[in-house]
Amino acid sequence: MSNTATPAPISLTEHNIKVLLVDDQRIVGETIRRMLADIPGLEFKFCSDPTIALQEADVFSPTVILQDLVMPGVDGIEMVRAFRANASTAATPLIVLSSKEEATTKAEAFAAGANDYLVKLPDKLEIVARIRYHSNAYILRLQRDEAFAALEEQQRVIAQELAEAAAYVRSLLPAPMEGGSPVPSDWRFITSTSLGGDSFGYHWLQPDTLAIYLLDVCGHGVGAALLSVSAINTIRNHTLPDTDFAMPSQVLSALNRAFPMEKQDGKYFTIWYGVLNTTTRELRYASGGHPPAIVVSAGGDFHRLDLPGVIIGAFSSAQFTDATITLDPGSKLFVYSDGCYEVFHPTSGMMTLDQFGGILAASGSAKGLDHVINEVQEWQDRPEFEDDFSLIQLQV
């Protein structure tokens, strides 16, 4: 469920019918001018010198060109080709006017790029009808091209804004903690769209107490990202009232009160929140409808920290409970979003949580999290993820 802003409506330029007549006979120019004089909004320009016709067209920007086929010193067919080769008139409708009714001449004119052919001087009703037809089609083309250009610009601006928003979301993520830290950490974050609904973090509550959390907002796009950022900042900045952030169940209860679905455009999120005491290696944790964290022992065995809990924001009366576990030295704690393992292969089917646990257990210190990503991509037989891929690893 995305919540992108509606772009401003595209305003198209109004175009008048503009007729450029190229003919060496001034009497023809005057006759055509009178035929068109009573058409509201129509602009008419007469060019009696074919050698400057291209320049006149560049300045005038006609919606239709009427061109005589027989003029002294100029090959009419070559002039048609010149209009077609000229950038500003390459697509402008061109009606050839000729005293010749020969099929061969007509064929040559059309082959050179003419759109229509009239034997001059035509009846007023006929020439007006053809001018309207060709001009209206050309004006629609101009407006279509203008709309496409405006749409491309809107898309460019939106893409830039989404990129800036994605960069901001990524800036909120914590830096990996190096080997000198009491709890070395690493993570991977791959969004399935420009903006996803996942976010995560960890920060020290006390010198030996680390809060760890990962949340997943339903849907993707701007709306999901805004809720995700709001919730993660609330946790990071400890702005939930009457909440002990060392007690995961209290944090989830406070989040449930702070972000009800009815005030978040129907959006909810899942979250895993844990607090690790690095001295005792005791981990206290709670889940709000989130996949269980997975612990991999130093020997390579894994087990899931299953704990029931409802999604955040759906039920105002929801209750959350804490669980505790003491982690063995050398264990790894993995916290992740469901996009890491809910992947599908046409023949292998959906990956199970235990299969994902096996991948985590096999990642080892040498292979690392990139191995996990590669294994999941190989399982689904393609590099792209349908959902956001968020994975935290902490070494105890």
CA proximity to 221, closest of 277, 275, 165: 165
Question: What pLDDT band is residue 3 in, cutting at 50, 70 and 90?
Answer: very low
Written as one letter, the residue type at 80 is V
Rounded mean pLDDT, 323-332: 96
Q: What is the pLDDT of residue 9?
A: 65
Long-range contacts of 128-131 (CB under 8 A, 24+ apart): 128/35, 128/36, 128/39, 130/95, 131/17, 131/19, 131/36, 131/64, 131/66, 131/95
Q: What is the pLDDT of residue 7?
A: 56
**pLDDT tens-place string over residues 259-274:** 999 999 999 999 999 9
User: What is the SS3 assignment for 237?
Assistant: coil
Question: What pLDDT band is residue 1 in, cutting at 50, 70 and 90?
Answer: very low
Rounded mean pLDDT, 345-366: 88
Q: What is the pLDDT of residue 8?
A: 58
Q: Is the pLDDT of residue 51 over 80?
A: yes
Q: What is the pLDDT of residue 343?
A: 95
Dihedral sign (CA 327, 330, 331, 335): positive
**pLDDT tens-place string over residues 287-316:** 999 999 999 999 999 999 999 999 999 999
H-helix segments, 86-123: 103-112
H-helix segments, the chain: 26-36, 53-60, 76-85, 103-112, 124-171, 222-236, 248-258, 353-380
CA proximity to 310, closest of 249, 219, 356: 249
Rounded mean pLDDT, 279-292: 97
Cis geometry, peptide bond prior to residue 333 (ω within 30 degrees of 0): no
Helix, strand, coil: what percent of the chain each, to 5? 40, 25, 35
H-helix segments, 2-102: 26-36, 53-60, 76-85
Across the chain, mean pLDDT equals 92
Q: pTM above the 0.85 mark?
A: no
Q: What is the pLDDT of residue 163?
A: 81
Distance, in Å, from the CA atom of 325 to the CA atom of 308, rounded to the nearest integer, reads 16
Q: What is the pLDDT of residue 2?
A: 37
DSSP β-bridge partners for residue 336: 391
Distance, in Å, from the CA atom of 96 to the CA atom of 67, rounded to the nearest integer, reads 5
Rounded mean pLDDT, 329-347: 94
Rounded mean pLDDT, 278-284: 97
User: What is the SS3 assignment for 56?
Assistant: helix
Rounded mean pLDDT, 311-339: 96
Q: Is the pLDDT of residue 161 over 70?
A: yes
Helices (H) and strands (E) in the chain — how many of each? 8, 19
**pLDDT tens-place string over residues 127-155:** 999 999 999 999 999 999 999 988 888 88
CA proximity to 181, closest of 200, 208, 199: 208
With tokens 């257990």, the residue in question is 361
Rounded mean pLDDT, 62-69: 96
Residues whose CB is less than 8 angstroms from the CB of residue 295 and which lie 6 or more positions away in sequence, other chains included: 302, 303, 305, 325, 327, 331, 332, 333, 334
CA proximity to 335, closest of 271, 240, 248: 271
Q: What is the pLDDT of residue 367?
A: 72
Q: Is the pLDDT of residue 233 over 80?
A: yes
> Of 105-114, 170-179, 226-235, where does mean pLDDT reach its minimum?
170-179
User: What is the SS3 assignment for 249?
Assistant: helix
Q: Is the pLDDT of residue 330 over 90?
A: yes
Rounded mean pLDDT, 76-81: 95
Written as one letter, the residue type at 20 is L
